[in-house]
Chains A and B, each alone.
Chain A
């Protein structure tokens, strides 16, 4: 299979969907002039002209306009530049986009995608480093996805664009240059379905986005200790794939949930609550959560590393749920 970057995989997804459906268009800050801050839109305006647009720096306008466009029957893809900025358009997102279908009795679809580059990279500091799915998680009416690889980036973006409900697409900035195998033929990655990245019998790690590869590294090291780790890549964070998670926990009896977002009030809490409700009697240890500490992301490289979840944190958490470490 050919190998392409995560960034190119999203570009392919955009290109294929824009060719397939003339109502798909994309707009955001600096995506024509610059090709996107991470190069993820490079070359797109050449083929699609004014279906790729730069807009003024106003997330309120971008997200509000996306709703209007979706209501009129097009399929807008709005780029947030940084996921951190989504807060500016919170009312549009939480009170309008998420609720319109419900409040108008299901008379219309809201087929829009908000692309939100998130995560830590190169000391971008407190306002440009966050993973904010926790903010979005609490809003009924939104679908939330987070690819972990070039292949899932392409498949999920295509599926999100074709979805008739609003999808928030979190793409981790560190993943953009990373390369991986991506099928040449057409495919979609199903929304709501997790994938098991590694099958194991001793402990389940539920992860997504950038943490999946950190978990794979940790699993390799743990294997040397005789610990057989199963890794579930959620892909869709809301609604997440309960069945796959519960089945795995029933098999391994132990669970670690890992995300780069802050642990407090994070998706891990929601998953842990679901596991204890549905698989309590299969648990042999308290569920462990691994994520960022409850502080703004520091600029200092040393402090940034300290605050963010590392491979060592994952290894410790796994040992803890196996009672091999206090």
Chain B
């Protein structure tokens, strides 16, 4: 019997998902546990493994198409079995009025080539879905068929037909804006692109943060020799401990005395203060910024934290982070030191109260006993929600963190 593969629900709030890429094609053998496709929800791109085995008979939801949770995205058959005549249409997500499926666009307007940017108050997932709905790609049916066959997203193609519609020649030339520009002088000297869902959600959250949260930034310079010495001590044991892991551990210690920075804004005059320091670590990935959670930074050993962090970063780069791995952060650390950035101002990641921005370790001269010497320094920034904490509170926290950075042994408590 043919088995339906359904759009998985990866995370409680997921109503629908976009299949960004199929790892198997129709006709491929599929074993249990084989990677089938990557699905993007509002939070992340997540690999989905086959729960059954057989032959991938039919892909119902193609690449870059969106379907409601529970909709049939593909069908498996057993060897020797033929495909059912017509695959069932993905069920309309009636329980989720905001969800939609690619196969039932209701409105061809407005033209898709516009990049919808979240405006105003925080758009819900449903609102974002609507935007995509309106973003139906104008194309000739044949262009759509060709693109589907070649597994090219219509959204990635610059149309040269009437009103920018994608027509067959655009798909054949395969080439987005640059090629289209040389082929057709009428093509505009820019390319309009659609943001990934992650980017759209991030845009909405950051806009919300920027508009809604009165946030202030402080920064402090610390001698970095203590950190470097700590790294060296581990290095002598042939262990490589990252600066971020060390800083996460020290931040966890400092937060014990400044718990208000380890909190969330609930609204209605309430905040939630967390007992454990679960630090969201900003990681740069091919999907953009992702923030896996490094748990228990106030309690656990730095070796353990370092191992966890390494695994999370690898998963982030391999796009295999689970939704759970990105939940539950109570404060964020963003380290851009590896790029040579010495200081920057971060934006609070709501509903968290605070974010730390870490710069690179630099050597600079310092006045010393009437003369001068070169020292290693690091600058730590703190951006915090002024509704929850005041500048002095933040300053005291930074001073404590500076002490721990300069003398990590103090963090032992």
Contacts and interface: CB of A to CB of B under 8 A. Distances in A.
Interface stretch (B100-108, B120-128, B160-168, B375-383): B160-168
A12 to B, nearest CB: 45
Interface in B125-155: 140-145
B141 A281 contact: yes
B160 A323 contact: yes
B167 A285 contact: yes
Interface residues of A, number: 9
Contacts of B140: 253, 283-285
B399 to A, nearest CB: 67
A280 B139 CA distance: 12
Contacts, number: 28
Nearest to A320: B162
Contacts of B168: 253, 284
B252 to A, nearest CB: 58
A190 B162 CA distance: 41
A282 interface: yes
Contacts of A285: 140, 161, 167
A283 B161 contact: no
A228 to B, nearest CB: 15
Nearest to A285: B140
B161 A323 contact: yes
Contacts of A280: 141
Contacts of A323: 160-162, 167
Interface residues of B, number: 11
Contacts of B162: 323, 326
Contacts of B167: 284-285, 323
Interface string A106-131: 00000000000000000000000000
Contacts of B144: 281
Interface string A291-325: 00000000000000000000000000000000100
A81 B260 CA distance: 99
A284 B143 contact: yes
A254 to B, nearest CB: 9
Interface in A175-227: none
A326 B141 CA distance: 19
Contacts of A326: 162
B180 to A, nearest CB: 13
A283 B141 contact: yes
A281 B160 contact: no
Interface string A221-258: 00000000000000000000000000000000100000
B15 to A, nearest CB: 29
B245 to A, nearest CB: 54
Interface in A135-152: none
A282 B145 contact: yes
A285 B162 CA distance: 10
A253 B145 CA distance: 12
Contacts of A253: 140, 142, 168
B203 to A, nearest CB: 34
* Central interface residue in A283, A284, A323, A326, by most chain B CB within 10 Å: A284
B349 to A, nearest CB: 45
B161 A281 contact: no
A278 B162 CA distance: 24
Nearest to B140: A284
Given A253-B168, A323-B167, A283 B142 contact: yes
Nearest to A276: B141
A284 B142 CA distance: 5
Given A253-B168, A323-B167, A282 B161 contact: no
Interface in A68-120: none
Question: Which of B142, B160, B161 has the largest number of chain A CB atoms within 10 A?
Answer: B142
Contacts of A281: 141-142, 144-145
A20 B184 CA distance: 63
A282 B141 contact: yes
A86 to B, nearest CB: 38
A326 B163 CA distance: 11
B183 to A, nearest CB: 12
Q: Which of B140, B144, B161 has the most CB of A within 10 A?
A: B140
Contacts of A282: 141-142, 145
A229 B280 CA distance: 63
A101 B142 CA distance: 43
A280 B144 CA distance: 11
Contacts of A283: 140-142
Contacts of B143: 284
B162 to A, nearest CB: 7
A285 to B, nearest CB: 6
A282 B141 CA distance: 6
A281 B144 CA distance: 8
B186 to A, nearest CB: 11
Nearest to A249: B142
Interface in B216-239: none
Nearest to A286: B140
Interface string A38-65: 0000000000000000000000000000
Contacts of B145: 281-282
Contacts of B142: 253, 281-284
A282 B146 CA distance: 9
Interface string B165-176: 001100000000
B164 to A, nearest CB: 12
Across the A-B interface, the 6 shortest Cβ-Cβ residue pairs: A284-B142, A284-B168, A284-B140, A281-B145, A281-B141, A253-B142
Given A280-B141, A283-B141, A284-B141, 13 more contacts: A253-B142, A281-B141, A281-B145, A282-B141, A282-B142, A284-B168, A285-B140, A285-B161, A285-B167, A323-B160, A323-B161, A323-B167, A326-B162
27 contacts: A253-B140, A253-B142, A253-B168, A280-B141, A281-B141, A281-B142, A281-B144, A281-B145, A282-B141, A282-B142, A282-B145, A283-B140, A283-B141, A283-B142, A284-B140, A284-B141, A284-B142, A284-B143, A284-B167, A284-B168, A285-B161, A285-B167, A323-B160, A323-B161, A323-B162, A323-B167, A326-B162
